[in-house]
């Protein structure tokens, strides 16, 4: 009975004879061996027969499995990822959802064509009119206005070795990642807005090396639609020892590199300010002071896994591609959620089973929602024992309650799973909660973020929950959760 149709019709007996005619190695043939249809025993090097697959089976395609075809096509399209920027204060997405360039995390990938720039010609002692004549929309430049009669213009030339990414509040096309002020606790309120933004329209730029190891460097200020950066008279600026110009933006760009990277051994680093040319300085007395800090010679603007970039209104976490490969995935976090729920933790008062809601209902209170007494860590369901009110958000003092288990008085809040995987230092089970917001994560993750002083306003720092940006309270800013198992 024929098994193939086309220009050649082959019978089973003949096929078996052919398959035995080409023994396994040694064999001089190095071309593709093709299995035909459901004939698992057949492996015929068609080129030796002077045939192609189309000669035997005109309608046939190269015999790759669907999975292999997908991998083959995808591998040629997936760009190299340098890393990701994640905005602190959001639990996996913006309140109204991620849209276009406005999102809670932004991937920096290798561009089809390099768009980086590097300093070139310096024009000194120019009048503002002459400076305007020098600059053009086809070339990047930075203008330093020293006085009404003197401006220094530094022209930038194309750099084929780097890719440039720009971050800021502006929605103009030069901005790759649009960032607005983070509103504390806005994870459940999409209407919250700040009265006046302190983030620069063109806040900073990051240059990534196109070749391995793909290092990333951050610089203050970004180029506008005219490919220019303007530092006015009031901006801090100066001439360096080698005759070059440098300066700081109005509210500055601060960077902190954690000790030991973003791992279980991470330790808080020291906050520094980055200049327009990428030099590192100690902090000014206030964010907008004209007097710069001292230059730190032994530090660079190169980002490492876990570096924090503060734009005076929003703080970004930099995760390298390698670091992200060690980070738990959303599937892993979902598996941990299901594992906790499968253990059937119970409320010690109502004896009802507790369960963390699904990730799709991350901001909606559920009847089975776990609640915690933050002073002691005992986990309950919502109940009215010891006096209370209807469940829901509200001032901390209104939630103060006495724990039925140990009589400790303190805030009584619902627990929410932290769902931004990029904030996790490890893949351990979620056993600790931040106070006073109740976001739950692993012990190492909670310990790390409770020690990080994040910039707040123009001159203060405090630790905050990475999932909602709420300032931490209590001695440690986090508490170990104590669940009660099922009685049966």
For residue 126, pLDDT over 70 is answered with no
Mean pLDDT of 309-334: 95
Q: Quickly state the pLDDT bin for 363 (edges 50, 70, 90).
A: low
pLDDT at 1 over 80: no
- Measured at the CA of 453, the angle between CA 98 and CA 444, to 5 degrees, comes to 75
Closest CA to 118 of 242, 348, 277: 277
- The backbone torsions φ and ψ at residue 131, rounded to the nearest 5 degrees and listed phi first, read -65, -40
CA nearest neighbour of 422 among 132, 26, 81, 189: 81
Mean pLDDT over all residues of the chain? 80
409 compared with 125, residue with greater pLDDT: 409
Question: What are the beta bridge partners of residue 83?
Answer: 108, 320
Question: How far apart are alpha carbons 126 and 38 in whole angstroms?
Answer: 79
pLDDT at 37 over 80: no
Give burial (CB, 10 Å; 0-12/13-18/19+) of 195.
exposed
User: Nearest-CA neighbor of 262 among 212, 323, 205?
Assistant: 323
Q: How many CA atoms lie within 13 A of 184 on its CB side?
A: 11
Percent of the chain with pLDDT over 90: 54
Nearest to 231 by CA among 189, 261, 200, 260: 200
Q: What is the pLDDT of residue 487?
A: 55
Q: What is the pLDDT of residues 75-86, one digit of tens each?
A: 457 789 999 999
**Residue 195: per-residue pLDDT:** 60
User: Quick one: pLDDT band at residue 211, thresholds 50, 70, 90?
Assistant: very high
Q: Tens digits of per-residue pLDDT, 165-206? A: 999 999 999 999 999 988 886 544 444 445 688 899 999 999
Mean pLDDT is lowest, of 66-75, 97-106, 115-124, 232-241, for 66-75
pLDDT beyond 80 at 14: no
For residue 86, what is the DSSP state? E
Among 41-50, 178-187, 300-309, 340-349, which stretch is predicted with the lowest mean pLDDT?
Answer: 41-50
Strand 432-434 and strand 478-480: the pairing is: antiparallel
pLDDT of 70 strictly over 70:
no
Strands 162-168 and 177-178: parallel
């Amino acid at each position: 009975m024929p098994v193939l149709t086309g220009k050649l019709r082959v019978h089973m007996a003949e096929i078996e004879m052919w398959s035995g005619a080409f023994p396994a190695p040694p064999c001089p043939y190095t071309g593709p061996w093709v299995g035909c249809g459901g004939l698992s025993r057949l492996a015929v090097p068609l080129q030796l027969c002077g045939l192609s697959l189309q000669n035997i089976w005109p309608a046939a395609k190269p015999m790759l499995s669907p999975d292999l075809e997908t991998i083959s096509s995808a591998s040629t399209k997936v760009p190299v990822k340098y890393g990701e920027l994640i905005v602190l204060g959001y639990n996996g997405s913006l309140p109204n959802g991620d849209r276009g360039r406005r999102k809670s995390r932004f991937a920096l990938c290798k561009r089809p064509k390099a768009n980086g720039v590097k300093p070139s010609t310096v024009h000194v002692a120019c009048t503002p009119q002459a400076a305007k004549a020098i600059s053009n929309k086809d070339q990047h430049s930075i203008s330093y206005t020293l006085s009404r009669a003197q401006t220094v213009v530094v022209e930038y030339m194309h750099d084929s070795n780097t890719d440039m990414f720009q971050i800021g509040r502006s929605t103009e096309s030069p901005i790759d990642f649009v960032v607005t002020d983070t509103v504390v606790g806005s994870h459940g309120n999409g209407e919250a807005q700040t009265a006046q933004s302190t983030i620069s329209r063109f806040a900073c730029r990051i240059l990534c090396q196109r070749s391995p190891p793909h290092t990333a460097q951050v610089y203050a200020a970004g180029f506008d639609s005219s490919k220019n950066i303007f530092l006015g008279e009031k901006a801090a600026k100066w001439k360096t020892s080698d005759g070059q110009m440098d300066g700081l933006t109005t509210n500055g760009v601060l960077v902190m590199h954690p000790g030991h990277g973003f791992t279980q051994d991470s330790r808080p680093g020291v906050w520094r300010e980055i200049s327009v040319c990428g030099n590192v300085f100690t902090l000014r007395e206030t964010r907008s002071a004209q007097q710069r800090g001292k230059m730190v010679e032994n530090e660079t603007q190169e980002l490492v896994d876990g570096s924090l970039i503060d734009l005076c209104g929003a703080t970004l976490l930099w995760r390298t591609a390698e670091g992200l490969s060690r980070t738990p995935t959303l599937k892993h976090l979902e598996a941990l959620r299901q594992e906790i729920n499968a253990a059937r933790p119970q409320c010690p008062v109502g004896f009802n089973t507790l369960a963390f809601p699904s990730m799709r209902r991350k901001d909606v209170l559920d009847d089975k929602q776990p609640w915690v007494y933050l002073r002691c860590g005992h986990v309950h369901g919502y109940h009215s024992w010891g006096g209370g009110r209807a469940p829901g958000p509200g001032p901390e003092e209104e939630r103060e309650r006495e724990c039925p288990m140990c009589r400790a008085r303190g805030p009584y809040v619902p627990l929410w799973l932290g769902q931004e995987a990029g904030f996790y230092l490890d893949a351990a089970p979620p056993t600790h909660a931040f106070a006073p917001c109740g976001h739950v994560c692993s012990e190492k993750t909670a310990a790390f973020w409770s020690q990080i002083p994040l910039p707040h306003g123009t001159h203060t720092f405090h630790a905050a929950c990475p999932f909602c940006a709420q300032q931490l309270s209590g001695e440690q800013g986090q508490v170990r959760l104590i669940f009660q198992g099922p009685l049966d």
